[in-house]
Copies of this chain bind each other. A is one copy, B any other.
């Protein structure tokens, strides 16, 4: 007999809760919030984006992002500069911002590895591949 089917959300929520804690802790260890880290990460990976584009990319919201951007600029980790359309601010991570982001990311990947060690390597790749495929729609 087969087990009753479990809601996928119920299966995924505990994992994402652990991952969320990993990112929160890693960011905090380097003086940032998770969202500030996420903003730096997106900005470094795809330079030239404006605020709205980064917000959309992260599934964040443009108004919530403003306080984070203020703080990141205050810390000299990121710059807002007027783009060709002078309504839109182009975001650029500074060298210090990229370094900081990489430090947080190294901690995150280290802790993810610890978590994922429970999985056989095939399943580990399958998890990321499946989630990646699903996220695309």
Contact = CB atoms under 8 A, between A and B. Distances in A.
Contacts of A108: 7
A14 interface: yes
Give how many copies assemble into the complex. Answer: 2
Interface in A113-137: 115-116, 118-119, 122-124, 126-137
Interface residues of A, number: 46
Contacts of A5: 109
28 contacts: A4-B45, A5-B109, A6-B128, A7-B41, A7-B105, A7-B108, A7-B112, A8-B19, A8-B112, A11-B128, A12-B19, A12-B131, A13-B16, A13-B59, A14-B59, A15-B131, A16-B16, A17-B59, A115-B134, A118-B136, A118-B137, A119-B133, A119-B134, A123-B133, A124-B130, A126-B126, A126-B127, A127-B131
